[in-house]
Amino acid sequence: MDLSLLWVLLSLVTVAWGQYGDYGYPYQQYHDYGDDGWVNLNRQGFSYQCPHGQVVVAVRSIFSKKEGSDRQWNYACMPTPQSLGEPTECWWEEINRAGMEWYQTCSNNGLVAGFQSRYFESVLDREWQFYCCRYSKRCPYSCWLTTDYPGHYGEEMDMVSYNYDYYMRGATTTFSAVERDRQWKFIMCRMTDYDCEFANV
């Protein structure tokens, strides 16, 4: 299928989902991240946080072998539904070291609301941290992993969550010592509509 046709169809689906505001779910289409909106230059660190009350719903990245086998990154955020309430606390998670595979979810039942990264020339890779926010005492359930992003090392990465009731809680990554690149699988979960007593699910 032609990629431009796919984007048109996905945009229409997003607009249709945006009409569910009558059901207490006031999602609007996320802010478009254009080609010139990268949050970093190659080999440069960055810190990105969604506005208060929003979570990450899209991740875009391009790879450059000649620029230190590094990637430029961009993110899009979307407000959480009124039923989830306001974030009660936000924090930076522990650092995931460069050159290693890792798996991490936001502690304390948090949702991903930002990323922070620093590039290391010695390993041609980045360390990563999630910025997480907790919403009252809501708990995750029905979690699943996305497919690999990108599909192959060195390719452009474009992950958009069109599941309006699933939220990013973390990721697992694999690192290729040959390609000096990562593949990501994002951990997506639903959140309860009620408070629960579990501190970390």
Query: pLDDT value at position 9?
Result: 39
The pTM is what? Answer: 0.81
Q: Which domain holds residue 85?
A: 37-195
Peptide bond between residue 81 and the one before it cis (omega within 30 degrees of 0): no
DSSP state of 147: -
Query: pLDDT value at position 194?
Result: 86
pLDDT (tens place) for every residue of the chain, 201 residues total: 444 443 433 443 333 333 333 223 333 333 444 445 899 999 999 999 999 999 999 999 999 999 999 999 999 999 999 889 899 999 999 999 999 999 999 999 999 999 999 999 999 999 999 999 999 889 999 999 999 999 999 999 999 998 778 999 999 999 999 999 999 999 999 999 888 877 665
DSSP state of 96: B
Instruction: Classify residue 59: in a domain, yes or no.
Output: yes
Instruction: Classify residue 31: in a domain, yes or no.
Output: no
Positive or negative, the Cα torsion across 118, 46, 191, 185? negative
Instruction: Classify residue 126: in a domain, yes or no.
Output: yes
Domain count, the chain: 1
Instruction: Classify residue 167: in a domain, yes or no.
Output: yes
